[in-house]
Structure 1
Amino acid sequence: MDRLQAMQVFTRVVDTNSFTRAAETLDMPRASVTTIIQNLEAFLGTRLMHRTTRRLSLTPDGAAYYERCVRILADVEETEAAFQNGSKKPHGKLRIDMPGSIGRLLVIPSLCEFRQRYPDIDLQLGLTDRPVDLLQEGVDCVIRVGALQDSSLVARRIGLFEGVTCAAPAYIQRHGMPKSLEDLEQHRAVNYFSSRTGRVMDWAFLVEGKEIEVKMQAAVSVNDADAYVTCGLEGFGLIQPARYQVLPYLKSGELVEVLPDEKPLPMPISVVYPHSRHLSPKVRVFVDWIAEVFDRCPLLSGRAALDKTCSKRTFEERESKPDIDTPVVTEWAA
């Protein structure tokens, strides 16, 4: 029995909480995963997990063995990386997940640079606006927006999500331009609700260093970011998307900024990965690279002014309307 492989399979089964998902992420037949775990338990002379048709749970011995396996595998990977530095570049499959708008407008236009640096890394790029369970889904790292609550993950802040309150000129003509937060009581918004919980996201502003939440009356509520911005363009109400997502519409006049002195509450952008991946060379180089990409773009790095260092393909006005994805909501941090 290959004990190192058995440790890798066992930890992946625990991380994904599924023999089937572990097999998929390891590119192995499910039967092989089952056999390896059975042989491992026979070799150790103890049961590592309880298995039912619906769930898996670790035994006390299984939990202790898992913790040691994670440390051993990390040590092995770090040792290999130390000898490979300078002679062999990071390699292997790397599964990444991020909000679609960030992927389409910022990351994908820069991917050629990453491929040139690390041609042996096979990227699997997921563009989703739903919370991703890194361990259960076998994802190496994700880009998340908002406060992070899962203490089992490692996070590195790479940018700042800055929102903008805006509306279509047709809406302003019908309802007038709000002059203060109090005026918002007389206005309608397009609200965004969580597809997972159904909860409507309150609007949040940063005023003199304090967070102020505003409950907006909605003419329509949606759970899709593309529809969210489209409803704003059609004049259904005020919207509060990320500034970088609607910059072309603001430049063209299809959207008008509202309450420019009352900024929406900014949220951190982080790249997040499990503790078990923190020594992986391929994860490390991707995290360092994506931090560079964000730092070059002021609208996402936290620098307010747009300058010439941003990719023209990312932020320039285009003849066709840009793809718009997830708006600024703390749902991403779930």
Structure 2
Amino acid sequence: MDKSRVISLFIGVVRAGSFSQAAVAEGLAAQSVSKAIRQLEDYLGVRLFHRTTRSLSLTDEGQRLYELACPGLRLLDEALEEVRNRGDDVDGLIRIAAPTSFGTHLLAPILCTFQERYPRARFDLVLADQFTDLVAARIDVGFRAGSPPDRNLIARRLGDVVLKICAAPAYLEKYGTPTRREDLLQHRCTGYRQANTGRLMPWELQGGDGTLCVDMPCVATFNTIESEAVAVMRGVGIGQLAAYLIDDDLAAGRLVHLLPELDTRNAGIYMCYAQRTRMPSRVRLFIDHAFEAARRQLGGL
């Protein structure tokens, strides 16, 4: 027996003054309502109504149950209404997971512009280069770079991860500038080691026959691309870095773009979430805002 449902029907019968009118209000057959009340009486071991062919009235036990149940049902209605209204409100917490570099360079400005529009929205931002299990971690929206996430998630591609070879002016002054792909093997290079596997990633170089994966002679390896970018800017070596991370430094002259014909864009940046239906308004609005803003920043529009 669904106790809350049966109590609700009981209160409906008392307020309507008849089984048939309560049944119409609930969209049920009168027999269904009568059966539910009998189940409740059997469960309680008391009669709740005096029934005749012409009248219906509460017993003492029925009156007591009505007096006790009404406040509880009212509280339940208020709780349901509050949660329903909050679903349409932008006031609340949005939990987000993203790679460290993406979160720092692209996502943080997006959060700021969203809060300018919806100042009551709050964020809990988890930055990690390992991809977070969105469902287990109760994350509303996740971002990842690389291949699309598994099919259990809705994924929207924001743009390409463009990899550019670059070096600091001080490095080029000291060690010279490579002019061909083969020259890179004679230079001091940096590498990225995947945080979750520890695997050193080869460089991806665009060639006439497609993309080549080359194991470069690394003088330093890093498990975050931000730390690698800092090292390259300090002149440690030549690095292959994501454009969104270093385009401002290229424009300012802190880094020099080398061999642009070798740039690759084989991976994507994705925004993902578990479902689109029945999500709070604040999450739905943030998804739309972040999609448009990130696409603009990544050159996807």
Higher strand share: 2
Contact 1:165 1:264 in 2 (8 A): no
1:166-315 equivalences in 2 (<5 Å): 166-208=166-208, 210-275=210-275, 278-280=277-279, 281-297=281-297, 300-302=298-300
Highest CA radius of gyration, 1 or 2? 2
The answer to whether the 8 Å contact 1:179/1:259 transfers is yes
Give the secondary structure class of the aligned counterpart of 2:227: helix
Unpaired runs of at least 5, structure 1: 4-79, 304-334
Partner SS state of residue 197, structure 1? coil
How far does residue 253 in structure 1 lie from its aligned partner after superposition?
2.8
Which residue of 2 is the match for residue 111 of structure 1? 111
TM-score, normalising length from structure 1?
0.58
CA distance in 1, matches of 2:154, 2:146: 15
Q: Percent identity?
A: 33
1:162 aligns to what SS in structure 2?
A: strand
1:163 counterpart residue number: 163
Per-residue deviation, 1:163: 2.2
Deviations 1:171-190 (A, max 9, x none): 32343322222222222211
**Amino acid in the other structure paired with 2:282:** K
Looking at structure 2, the residues matched to 102 and 245 of structure 1 have their Cα atoms a distance apart, in angstroms, of 8
Structure 1: how far apart are the matches of 2:257 and 2:112?
34
- Corresponding residue of 2:129: 129
- Report deviation, 1:272: 0.7
Q: CA RMSD in A?
A: 2.9
Q: Contact (CA 8 Å) 2:149, 2:155: kept in 1 or not?
A: no
- 1:82-141 deviations in whole A, cap 9, x for unaligned? x979x9434543211122333333333343432354455432222332321112211111
Using the TM superposition, give the Cα deviation of residue 223 of structure 1 relative to its aligned residue in structure 2, in angstroms: 1.3
- Is the 8 Å Cα contact of residues 165 and 257 (structure 1) preserved in structure 2? yes
Could you tell me which runs of 5 or more consecutive residues in structure 2 were left unpaired when the two chains were aligned.
5-80
2-structure distance, mates of 1:212, 1:198: 21
- Give the direction of change, closer, same or farther, for the CA distance of 1:234–1:111 in structure 2 (3 Å limit): closer
**Is the partner of 1:134 in helix, strand or coil?**
coil
Per the alignment, in what secondary structure is the counterpart of residue 164 of structure 2? Answer: coil
Q: For residues 88 and 250 of structure 1, what CA distance do their matches in structure 2 show?
A: 43
| Equivalent position of 2:152 in the other structure | 152
**Alpha-carbon distance in structure 2 between the residues aligned to 1:193 and 1:286:** 32
Residues 208 and 214 of structure 1: is their aligned pair in 2 closer, same or farther, counting only changes over 3 Å? same
User: What amino acid sits opposite 1:202 in the alignment?
Assistant: P
| CA distance in structure 1 between the aligned counterparts of 2:128 and 2:3, rounded to whole angstroms | 37
Q: Distance in 1 between matches of 2:267 and 2:95?
A: 24
Matched AA of 1:114: F
Between the aligned partners of 2:90 and 2:136, the Cα distance in structure 1 is 24
Separation in structure 2 between the aligned mates of residue 111 and residue 231 of structure 1, nearest angstrom: 28
TM-superposed deviation, 1:159: 2.0
Q: Distance in 2 between matches of 1:237 and 1:2?
A: 70
Check 1:116–1:154 CA distance in 2 against 1; reply closer, same or farther (3 A cut): same
Cα distance in 1 for residues equivalent to 2:180 and 2:289: 41
User: Contact conserved, 2:88 with 2:282, CA < 8 A, in 1?
Assistant: no
Question: Displacement, 1:224?
Answer: 2.9
Letter in 2 for 1:263: D
Tell me the CA shift for residue 290 of structure 1.
0.5
The letter for the 1-side match of 2:156 is R
Aligned residues: 221
Given that residues 96 and 139 in structure 1 are in contact (C-alpha distance below 8 angstroms), is that contact kept between their aligned partners in structure 2?
yes
Alignment TM-score, normalising by the size of structure 2: 0.64
